[in-house]
Amino acid sequence: HAPPRTERMAVDQDWSSVYPTAAAFKPASVPLPIRMGYPVKRGVPPPKEGNLELIKIPNFLHLTPPAIKKHCAALKDFCTEWPSALDSDEKCEQHFPIEIETVDYVSSGTSIRNPKARVVTLRVKLSNLNLDDHAKKKLIKLVGERYCKDTDTLTITTDRCPLRRQNYDYGIHLLTVLYHESW
């Protein structure tokens, strides 16, 4: 029978063709003498072949520097230059008054989904909304403790829906409803 793939691999092989995306550890594809696990009777840890400890943990074999450069080169055509007029935080806040905050999580559990990743926090200064004095007072009364008087910021946090995009849409909907209801 043929020797394992690791012994037939060229030294200068394109690694991103071996590991193009995130995947479980494959001992026949990795030409490194990796060992992991508890050593039996003070010996060496088990080898990579049939080693469940190596398969269980997430790896970053697909994120080698040449692979990242290749991804960046492929994405470069779709990138636009940052607008020169937006050279300060104040100008960014003036032109884009709504700030959206989300968090991504990396976990080593059995599921790649973290329930906290769906939470969306939306912040906007009330001074950036087109409100008269009566409408501003009514909006503050409607939102209650979600408004911070010191920073003049309204914070809406949504986590009801199962997907982040749904929570984002729900947050924008709530802001729209609050704005129109305050008039």
High-pLDDT (> 70) share of the chain, %: 99
Contact in structure between 3 and 31 (CB atoms under 8 Å)? no
Question: Average pLDDT for residues 111-119, to the nearest whole number?
Answer: 87
Q: What is the CA radius of gyration of the chain?
A: 26
- How far is CA 108 from each of CA 55, 115, 155, rounded to the nearest angstrom? 11, 14, 31
Q: For 53-94, write each residue's pLDDT tens digit.
A: 888 888 888 899 999 999 999 999 999 999 999 999 999 999
pLDDT over threshold 80, residue 108: no
Q: Sign of the C-alpha dihedral, residues 15, 20, 21, 26? A: negative
High-pLDDT (> 90) share of the chain, %: 57
Q: For 11-59, write each residue's pLDDT tens digit.
A: 888 888 888 888 888 888 888 888 888 888 888 888 888 888 888 888 8
Domains of the chain: residue spans and CATH = 5-76 (no CATH), 89-182 (3.30.160.20)
For strand 147-148 and strand 120-125, is the pairing parallel, antiparallel, or unpaired? unpaired
Q: Sign of the C-alpha dihedral, residues 28, 31, 37, 39? A: positive
pLDDT value for 75: 95
d(C-alpha 109, C-alpha 151), whole Å = 39
pLDDT over threshold 90, residue 127: yes
Q: Where are the beta strands (DSSP E) in 17-166?
A: 99-101, 120-125, 147-148, 153-158
